[in-house]
Amino acid sequence: MPGNASRPSSLIHTIYGEFVRRLGGWISIADLIALMAELDVDAPAVRSAISRLKKAGTLLQERREGTGYRLSPEMGPVFDEGDRRIFHSLGPAELADGWVVAVFSVPESERASRHQLRSRLSWLGFGNAAPGVWLAPARVLPDARLLLERLGLSAYVHLFLSEYAGFAELRSAVGSWWDFPAIEEQYAEFTGAWGQVAADLRPSPRIEAVEAFRAYVPMLTQWRRLPYLDPGLPEPLLPAEWNAVAARAVFTELHGLLAGPSLRHVEKLTGLSQPRPEPTWPDLTWPDPYPADRRNAGGSAVTDHAPADLLIRSGAVHTLVPGEAPHRALAVTGERITALSPEADGLDHLIGPGTDVLDLPGTTVLPAFDDTHTHLILAAHSVHDVPVHRARDLDGLLGLIRERAANTPPGQWIRTTINWQEVNLAEQRLPRTEELDAATDEHPVLVRRGAYNMVLNTPALRLAGITAATEAPPGGVIERDERGRLTGRLVDKAVALAERVLPRPALADRIEGLRAASADYAATGIGTVRDCLVPVEDLEVLRAAREAGALSVRVRALVSGFGARTPGQVDELLDRMEPWRAGGDAWLSVWGVKFGIDGGIEAGALDEPYEGRPCYHGTLLWDRQELVAAVGRVVARGWRVGVHAWGDRGLRTLLDVFEQVIKDHPGLAPGTLVVEHGGLARPDQRSRAIALGVPVTVQHPLLHDAATAQIRAWGGERVRGIFPLREWLDEGALLAAGSDFPVGPYGAMVSVWGMTTRQTVAGAQGVEHAITRAEAIGLHTVDAARLLGESGARGSLRPGALADLTLWPADPFDCPPDELAGLRPVRTVLGGRTVHRI
């Protein structure tokens, strides 16, 4: 670990800011000395630093079980502001957002105030454009206003919001207003000190709590000044090869790895404990979307006369508010909807010089859709992979691999896209190892179908360490032929044997993958995804993509708990998630943890045997009491849990688990525990889930693409009963819809079409379970927002809601069925910002 060069007072600031505030706000001097000793600071230096901090008004002495110190009340806002800047530092601002300009004049007799003002503006990231004129990206305004008012300096300052109009080339001017070399030097020092630490921990991120503390405190101390020096200037104005991105990636990775264990160490050494926050559960109530004071006599929304940023005139605006007739005009100001009108010109008084007016009478407006069970991370991984989903037979699939091999240096991995089914190939089977070897034996090849099936060629098997003697992990299959030879196929838990040796793509490549994949989701009308198997380390990849402006959808991450089975492993996972408890925003947040109780098509746990396999009933992946313990630990820490359950035996066992967890944790709100799929639910299991208050996510696109394989595995009768949506809804269940990409295709209207027609690649399946278009659209909008706890902000179109909306070239409520599946929006808008347009 790098040596500790920080001053004792700075280290104490970090300990109070990161730990003591969360553990009641007070610590004894004896415990503080013990903690500082682990940072190689002796007791006299600690006492001297405490004396200075006490004199400065930062700390107040207070005797409890012994002598100790707490933060003064005045420091609360300072540390709160620090949290925002340190842990949520932003990527580059947008040039279009403009600037905040601070103009001040301080009399010579008050030069101390002038010095303080300059230093504080510099501390906030302002650049000095001219004597008495400082500026920063406009988003710094709230922090600037709060700081200047708190320090009593606001009387000297005038704050303006502005944009640059001329005359010099702005990039060169900015280079004289900020000291870029000095900022880059500090970023380079940070990356040089801590980049190797992150690299060393990456292969095996487990670390002793005391060692985590010894690294984390000096790392955080060195980092916390940098977000103040760097205000996040627009990317076109930054120097070439700006090194802030690399430094921020190192910090976020180490913060995710070290913060949780460090807190545990402080708790253990001091005996102080962290008050567990009250869980924030999904909002399962219907708020009044249009309060009486927001309506006029005619029933339309009331708004003031401030100009709108966006005004849409449309053939129909379906708000999805119960009982609300379609409107014709909608206005957006900032991120939110501000007005609706039944008349196309009813909001024209809100048009100002800067209003973007979309006069599209042939379009229909709906809320942006949610995909409540999908895998954006996997979609991003596949962006640059061999597109075997385009193949219609094995010759075509192998030809695509040969073509990629011809353009890939020997020894580099070749991977395929994952959104395809072998039963949809002419041969209706996966390729074999020897066929992949014939395509290329100079590259390790991984052919992946969905999340839980792989076929490897010989070089890939060799790198994964898989031989004829290798035993499959519990819940997994290493397939062999009738003579005991490897076929190259890995199923369910066995795929981890290959995943562990795959090279990790560069961060920049992963960000670009997310940029492309999320843009494609948005192009289908999807505005928010609930990504249901995010490795905890990939949260920082999502954060980096968010900061780079690469996400075209909102993301609600369901962190993978598939590798966490023991109490210690679950606690370690939750510790790594801890920084995300308040670390998200409206674009990116963590929803909870995902477990799986059974497999999918090959291993869903059934009461009756598989078709043609009288002795095979699928696989249960958990002992019931062990899963009760794991889920209980998660909900006790204030997180929600979604559990994959496909078969009726798997679902029955899961409902036993959920019932016990609810008993063990009285007051657990409905919506805390969610069934993912429940595809083969029996009538009694539907009733039981509803009685327990357990929502279910359903995915007709999965049924559409996988129906042939499911019929082969489970028989036609069972497949016709998959996702009985009509019965679920009639019985009062809370459902939300998704795709389960890569097993099924993502897309708003392809899902609505499927739920209303029950069409699949194997023909219509169980048409008696079909639902109406209004119900299907609701499962992707109002009901999805309820599941996510965001029904007050998204899911319907009303004043005050986020302006997440889609514009369609035809009305999805009444266009012909044969047009519905292929319908795509002409525009997708999130928070008032267009993320897709045709």
Alpha-carbon separation of residue 328 from 40, 77, 315, 337, 774 (angstroms): 68, 45, 6, 14, 19
The amino acid at residue 606 is L
Alpha-carbon separation of residue 18 from 6, 59, 260, 267, 501 (angstroms): 16, 15, 11, 12, 36
Interhelix angle for 648-664 vs 624-636, to 10°? 50
Using alpha carbons, select from 113, 121, 165 the residue that is nearest to residue 141.
Answer: 121
Q: What pLDDT is stored for residue 280 in this prediction?
A: 39
CA–CA dist 389, 378 (Å, integer): 14
What is the b/e burial string over 611-638, where b = at least 16 CB atoms within 10 angstroms of the residue's CB? Answer: beeeeebbbbbbeeeebbbbbbbbbebb
DSSP helix/strand/coil, 115: helix
CA–CA dist 364, 381 (Å, integer): 34
CA–CA dist 22, 32 (Å, integer): 15
Whether the per-residue pLDDT at 147 is higher than 80: the answer is no
Angle (nearest 5°) at CA 503 between 502 and 509: 125
Tens of pLDDT, residues 216-252: 999 999 998 888 888 788 888 988 888 888 888 888 7
Whether the per-residue pLDDT at 300 is higher than 50: the answer is no
Task: Supply the DSSP string of 154-207, one letter for each residue.
Answer: GGGEEEEEE----SS-HHHHHHHHS-HHHHHHHHHHHHHHHHHHHHHHSSS---
Determine if the peptide bond prior to 562 is cis (ω within 30°).
no
Which band of pLDDT confidence, cut at 50, 70 and 90, is reported for residue 204?
Answer: low
CA–CA dist 339, 312 (Å, integer): 11
DSSP helix/strand/coil, 255: helix
Dihedrals phi, psi of 455, to nearest 5 degrees: -130, 130
Determine if the peptide bond prior to 742 is cis (ω within 30°).
yes
Question: C-alpha dihedral over 508, 510, 512, 514, to 10 degrees?
Answer: -150
Q: Chain centroid to CA 715: how far?
A: 37
CA–CA dist 788, 790 (Å, integer): 5
Alpha-carbon separation of residue 638 from 203, 215, 624, 808 (angstroms): 29, 27, 22, 39
Which band of pLDDT confidence, cut at 50, 70 and 90, is reported for residue 275?
Answer: low
pTM: 0.71
Q: Is the dihedral of CA 780, 782, 788, 790 positive or negative?
A: positive
Which band of pLDDT confidence, cut at 50, 70 and 90, is reported for residue 784?
Answer: very high
Using alpha carbons, select from 454, 378, 445, 449 the residue that is nearest to residue 415.
Answer: 445
Residue with tokens 């699949």: 760
Q: In what order do the strands lie in the sheet with 588-596?
A: 369-374, 526-534, 554-560, 588-596, 640-645, 673-677, 696-698, 735-737
Which band of pLDDT confidence, cut at 50, 70 and 90, is reported for residue 673?
Answer: very high
Tens of pLDDT, residues 16-56: 999 998 888 899 999 999 999 999 999 999 999 999 999 98
Q: Mean pLDDT throughout 589-596?
A: 97
Q: Mean pLDDT throughout 330-348?
A: 96
DSSP helix/strand/coil, 228: helix
294 by Cβ neighbours in 10 Å (0-12 / 13-18 / 19+) ranks as: middle
DSSP helix/strand/coil, 1: coil
The amino acid at residue 400 is L
Task: Supply the DSSP string of 701-754, one letter for each residue.
Answer: HHHHHHHHHHHHHH-HHHHHTSS-HHHHHHTT--EEE---TTTS---HHHHHHH
Using alpha carbons, select from 642, 632, 659 the residue that is nearest to residue 590.
Answer: 642
Which band of pLDDT confidence, cut at 50, 70 and 90, is reported for residue 287?
Answer: very low
Whether the per-residue pLDDT at 291 is higher than 80: the answer is no
Q: Mean pLDDT throughout 457-463?
A: 95
Q: What pLDDT is stored for residue 90 in this prediction?
A: 54
Q: What pLDDT is stored for residue 647 in this prediction?
A: 96
Q: What pLDDT is stored for residue 69 in this prediction?
A: 94
Q: What pLDDT is stored for residue 335 in this prediction?
A: 95
Q: What pLDDT is stored for residue 728 in this prediction?
A: 95
Q: Which residues pair with 298 in a beta bridge?
A: none
Q: What pLDDT is stored for residue 557 in this prediction?
A: 97
Tokens matching residue 705: 């693409």
Q: What pLDDT is stored for residue 305 in this prediction?
A: 62
Q: Mean pLDDT throughout 544-562?
A: 95
Whether the per-residue pLDDT at 282 is higher than 70: the answer is no
Q: Mean pLDDT throughout 757-783?
A: 95
Using alpha carbons, select from 423, 292, 286 the residue that is nearest to residue 707.
Answer: 423
Percent of the chain at pLDDT > 90 equals: 65
Which of 123-127, 341-345, 353-357, 671-675 comes out lowest in average pLDDT? 123-127
**111 contacts: CB under 8 Å, gap ≥ 6:** none
Mean pLDDT for the chain overall: 89
Q: What pLDDT is stored for residue 290 in this prediction?
A: 38
Q: What pLDDT is stored for residue 80 in this prediction?
A: 78
Tens of pLDDT, residues 384-401: 899 998 899 999 999 999
Tens of pLDDT, residues 60-96: 999 987 899 999 988 887 887 777 778 765 567 778 7
Percent of the chain at pLDDT > 70 equals: 95
Q: Mean pLDDT throughout 742-770?
A: 94
Whether the per-residue pLDDT at 5 is higher than 80: the answer is no
Q: Mean pLDDT throughout 354-376?
A: 97
The amino acid at residue 201 is L
Which band of pLDDT confidence, cut at 50, 70 and 90, is reported for residue 296?
Answer: very low
Q: Which residues pair with 136 in a beta bridge?
A: 100
The DSSP element (H or E) to which 557 belongs, if any, is strand 554-560
